[in-house]
Amino acid sequence: MDGVPAPHRHRAAAACAAAIAALTLGAGATTADPPCAQAPTDWDAVEGALTRGAGCGRYVATTNGARTAYSLGQLVWRTPVTLPYRATVTWRRLGADPRALELGVLGGIVMVADDRVGLWIDDASFELDGWRPLPGHRVRRPHTVAVTQRAGELTLELDGAVVARWPLRPRATTGRLALIWKGAPADRAAIWFAGFAAQGLAQPAAARPK
């Protein structure tokens, strides 16, 4: 894993495996469990694997273990969204990998990393705006992320507080959202997430088609 000295990698991998086991323990439903409106089939696992976690709408997912520059995880929410909308998720990395957690939105990718956040639209725009500071944030701790995307603007909230706004005008006003994360080459880097939701927002009266 990047950022982990070689003598400690085995220890970090064991800790990650233990965390995954704890978070998936008890994932099987019992007769006393209420029906859950969410299921792994709500997602397309484009890269990596998805496992139901302990509790409704909770999951553990791992990267694909590719032996390239990095391993990749990508989960696409099957239900399309249309501007304007709001999406929320609570997530965290498992193990020692410090890479960013990413949320694919319409026309870009929101990146949340240790001490910083950014919006990738293309390489040229990212060179101009790039990362914005977010002191003290850690991807290995659970945080609730919310994005509100309207025509021309995307707002990012972390744990209920607005931390960034960016101008964003996607070519398509309807599309699918995605969770994206990377790991070291050949690694099955794991994340935990829960409570993903996306819903449309009412448009102002002046913006509604006549």
Q: Quick check: 17 pLDDT over 60?
A: no
Q: Quick check: 162 pLDDT over 90?
A: yes
Q: How confident is the model at residue 23 (pLDDT cuts 50, 70, 90)?
A: low
| Domain ranges (residues) in the chain | 6-29+38-202
User: What are the tens digits of pLDDT across the range 38-97?
Assistant: 899 999 999 999 999 989 999 999 999 999 999 999 999 999 999 999 999 999 999 989
CATH number for region 6-29+38-202: 2.60.120.200
d(CA 115, CA 94): 17
d(CA 137, CA 114): 5
Share of the chain above pLDDT 70, in %: 80
Q: How confident is the model at residue 202 (pLDDT cuts 50, 70, 90)?
A: confident
User: What are the tens digits of pLDDT across the range 63-79?
Assistant: 999 999 999 999 999 99
Task: Report pTM.
Answer: 0.82
